[in-house]
């Protein structure tokens, strides 16, 4: 299974100013597999320690931060002699070990010749609660579910993946039906590596749902284990309400959907918990489409998306025939799956996304991103692309010199003020 993050790990290995690496990502996005695969392919040996499952790991950093002693202890636990430049040290679930994160500072200061990667499913929660973190002493990478291109590669569609990197849109259009069929499958299966691997090998749709249900259950267990009882209830309410929030015409998060009279103050911690755990992504509203976009962020209004479209499909219990046959998945559900898909691909490329809306009118621009310019993005789940919000905003703000992007089921077309690209070609544009 090919993951793009491997190339980033290779670059980290070769970097002259390399620091210990912290790999952040939700449970089941493939962090452990990627670290071990990278270690086996790029190093002579791997010293892997699961700090949650290995009892001896609890005492690794209790006495002191003496690196020679720690290296000797790692050798005793793993049976692998740690050699600088030849061994990859992996400290998995490092948040479960007292002072583990802080130890990375001493690896960087006193033993920078060693390659160390630390990861944890709930590491973001640990950081969010302000526990000791070696600021400036580590490199950080974020890991997400497999994007559509990685799904194509896993499905053996190497040629279709390569075409996404060619400049000619006509070739893409000629293979439209094939891409759309695979896009339907991606909506159903999603990008969680274990689910994708099972689907590719067995094509068992019921087992796909069973594995997705298992992942969602593991998230709920994490919530009950690592949050207080009161927090757990609120976190569960936010997670449970996510599909209904996304199914609204206006996908702005509304607290009243959680319970009548709910207020932001009650649920801010719950939402942040899910964000820190990597389970949801928060897309904030902006007031103006100007650079830098971050300056115009309105923190009072936002949308929440799940980390994976397959998990969203599982939560909503959409029948397989609705998603895999015909165009229902693109036409129904008020575009919830399509916006989820687009956001998921942007996140995988580390492109921060926002949206714009006007409270005085129903006008809304689905996403706004900043690359070398500000790009308003309109997402249409089917071929009917009639919508005036983006067009009117661009027309009424000529001073911003904007060119929009419409993502729909239509083929590529450049209309001067706006480019239309097909959903399956999103990887090609960014």
Q: Are residues 159 and 119 in the same domain?
A: no
Residue-wise pLDDT tens digits, 148-175: 999 999 999 999 999 999 989 999 999 9
Q: What confidence category does residue 332 fall into, taking pLDDT thresholds of 50, 70 and 90?
A: low
**Looking at the predicted structure, is the pLDDT value of residue 327 above 80?**
no
**Looking at the predicted structure, is the pLDDT value of residue 326 above 70?**
no
Q: Are residues 272 and 405 in the same domain?
A: yes
Q: Are residues 124 and 235 in the same domain?
A: no
Q: Are residues 173 and 278 in the same domain?
A: yes
Residues 6+ away with beta carbon under 8 Å from 427: 147, 148, 149, 164, 345
Sheet holding 139-142, edge to edge: 45-50, 87-92, 115-120, 21-24, 139-142
Query: CATH number, domain at 117?
Result: 3.40.50.300
Q: Of 142, 171, 187, which marks where a domain is finished?
A: 142
Whether the CB-CB separation of 57 and 77 falls below 8 Å is answered with yes
pLDDT at 247: 84
pLDDT at 382: 66
Q: Are residues 52 and 165 in the same domain?
A: no
Residue with tokens 């590529």: 412
Residues 6+ away with beta carbon under 8 Å from 244: 257
**Looking at the predicted structure, is the pLDDT value of residue 267 above 80?**
yes
pLDDT at 358: 86
Residue-wise pLDDT tens digits, 375-425: 999 998 765 666 688 999 999 999 999 999 999 989 999 999 999 999 999
**Looking at the predicted structure, is the pLDDT value of residue 128 above 80?**
no
Whether the CB-CB separation of 26 and 307 falls below 8 Å is answered with yes
Q: At what angle do helices 67-78 and 100-110 cross, to 10 degrees?
A: 120
Angle among Cα 8, 10, 14 to the nearest 5 degrees reads: 115
Q: Are residues 76 and 194 in the same domain?
A: no
3-state DSSP of the chain: CCCCHHHHHHHHHHCCCCCCEEEECCCCCCHHHHHHHHHHHHCCEEEEEECCCCHHHHHCCCCCCCHHHHHHHHHHHHCCCCCCCCEEEEEECHHHCCCHHHHHHHHHHHCCCCEEEEEECCHHHHHHCCCCCCCCCCEEEECCCCCHHHHHHHCCCHHHHHHCCCCCHHHHHHCHHHHHHHHHHHHHHCCCHHHHHHHHHHCCHHHHHHHHHHHHHHHHHHHHHHCCHHHHHHHHHHHHHHHHHHCCCCCCCCHHHCCCCCCHHHHHHHHHHHHHCCCEEEEEEECCCCCCHHHHEEEEEEEEEECCHHHHHHHHCCCHHHHHCCCHHHHCHHHHHHHHHHHHHHHHCCCCEEEEECCCCCCEEEEEEECCCEEEEEECCCCCCCCCHHHHHHHHCHHHCCCEEEEECCCCEECCCEEEEEHHHHHHHC
Q: Chain-centre distance of CA 130, in angstroms?
A: 22
Q: Are residues 316 and 189 in the same domain?
A: yes
Angle among Cα 248, 239, 144 to the nearest 5 degrees reads: 100
Number of domains the chain is built from: 2
Q: What is the mean pLDDT of residues 266-273?
A: 95
Residue-wise pLDDT tens digits, 177-223: 999 999 999 999 999 999 999 999 999 999 999 999 999 999 999 99
pLDDT at 345: 97
Sign of CA dihedral 150, 152, 157, 163: negative
**Residue-number span of the structural domain to which 225 is assigned:** 148-429
Q: What is the pTM of this model?
A: 0.94
Q: Of 123, 142, 161, which marks where a domain is finished?
A: 142
Residues 6+ away with beta carbon under 8 Å from 116: 20, 21, 89, 91, 104, 107
pLDDT at 130: 59
Q: Are residues 124 and 188 in the same domain?
A: no
Q: What confidence category does residue 329 fall into, taking pLDDT thresholds of 50, 70 and 90?
A: low
Beta-carbon count within 10 A of 72 CB: 13
Q: Are residues 189 and 309 in the same domain?
A: yes
pLDDT at 257: 86
Q: What is the mean pLDDT of residues 214-235?
A: 95
pLDDT at 393: 94
Q: What confidence category does residue 137 fall into, taking pLDDT thresholds of 50, 70 and 90?
A: very high
**Looking at the predicted structure, is the pLDDT value of residue 334 above 60?**
no
**Looking at the predicted structure, is the pLDDT value of residue 94 above 90?**
yes
Q: Are residues 211 and 104 in the same domain?
A: no
Give 354's strand partners.
Answer: 368
Return mean pLDDT, the chain.
92
**Looking at the predicted structure, is the pLDDT value of residue 272 above 60?**
yes
Q: What is the mean pLDDT of residues 307-334?
A: 79
Q: What confidence category does residue 123 fall into, taking pLDDT thresholds of 50, 70 and 90?
A: confident
Q: Are residues 52 and 199 in the same domain?
A: no
Query: What is the pairing mode between strands 280-286 and 297-306?
Result: antiparallel
Q: Of 142, 170, 185, which marks where a domain is finished?
A: 142
Q: Are residues 287 and 381 in the same domain?
A: yes
**Looking at the predicted structure, is the pLDDT value of residue 319 above 90?**
no
Residue-wise pLDDT tens digits, 72-92: 999 999 999 999 999 999 999
Backbone angles phi, psi at 209, to 5 degrees: -65, -40
**Looking at the predicted structure, is the pLDDT value of residue 63 above 70?**
yes
pLDDT at 49: 98
């Amino acid at each position: 299974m090919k993951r793009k993050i491997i190339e980033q790990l290779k670059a980290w290995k070769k970097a002259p100013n390399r620091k210990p690496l912290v790999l952040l990502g939700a449970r089941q996005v493939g962090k452990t597999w990627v670290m071990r695969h990278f270690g086996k392919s790029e190093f002579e040996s791997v010293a892997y320690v699961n700090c949650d499952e290995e009892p001896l790991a609890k005492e690794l950093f209790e006495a002191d931060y003496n690196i020679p002693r720690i290296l000797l202890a790692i050798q005793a636990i793993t049976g692998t002699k740690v050699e600088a430049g030849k061994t990859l040290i992996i400290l998995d679930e490092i948040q479960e070990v007292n002072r583990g994160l802080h130890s990375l500072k001493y690896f960087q200061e006193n033993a920078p010749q060693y390659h160390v990667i630390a990861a944890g499913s709930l590491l973001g929660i640990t950081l969010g609660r302000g526990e000791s973190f070696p600021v400036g002493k580590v490199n950080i990478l974020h890991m997400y579910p497999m994007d559509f291109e990685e799904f194509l590669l896993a499905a053996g569609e190497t040629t279709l993946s390569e075409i996404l990197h060619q400049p000619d849109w006509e070739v893409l259009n000629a293979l439209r039906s094939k891409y759309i069929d695979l896009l339907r499958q991606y909506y159903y299966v999603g990008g969680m590596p274990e689910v994708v691997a099972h689907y590719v090998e067995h094509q068992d749709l019921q087992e796909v749902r069973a594995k997705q249900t298992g992942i969602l259950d593991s998230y709920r267990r994490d919530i009950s284990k690592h949050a207080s009882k009161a927090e757990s209830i609120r976190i569960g309410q936010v997670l449970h309400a996510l599909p209904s929030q996304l199914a609204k015409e206006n996908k702005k998060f509304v607290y009243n959907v959680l319970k009548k009279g709910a207020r932001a103050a009650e649920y801010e911690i719950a939402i942040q918990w899910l964000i820190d755990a990597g389970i949801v992504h928060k897309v904030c509203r902006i007031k103006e489409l100007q650079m830098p976009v971050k300056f115009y962020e309105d923190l009072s209004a936002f949308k929440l998306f799940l980390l994976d479209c397959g998990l969203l499909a599982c939560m909503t219990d959409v029948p397989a025939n609705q998603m895999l046959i015909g165009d229902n998945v693109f036409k129904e559900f008020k575009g919830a799956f399509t916006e989820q898909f687009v956001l998921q691909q942007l996140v995988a490329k580390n492109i921060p996304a926002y949206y714009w809306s006007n409270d005085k009118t129903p006008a809304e621009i689905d996403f706004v991103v900043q690359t070398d310019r500000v790009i308003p993005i309109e997402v249409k789940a089917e071929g009917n692309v009639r919508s005036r919000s983006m067009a009117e905003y661009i027309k009424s703000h000529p001073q911003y010199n904007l060119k929009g992007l419409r993502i729909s089921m239509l083929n590529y077309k450049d209309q001067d003020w706006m480019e239309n690209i097909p959903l399956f070609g999103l990887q090609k544009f960014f």
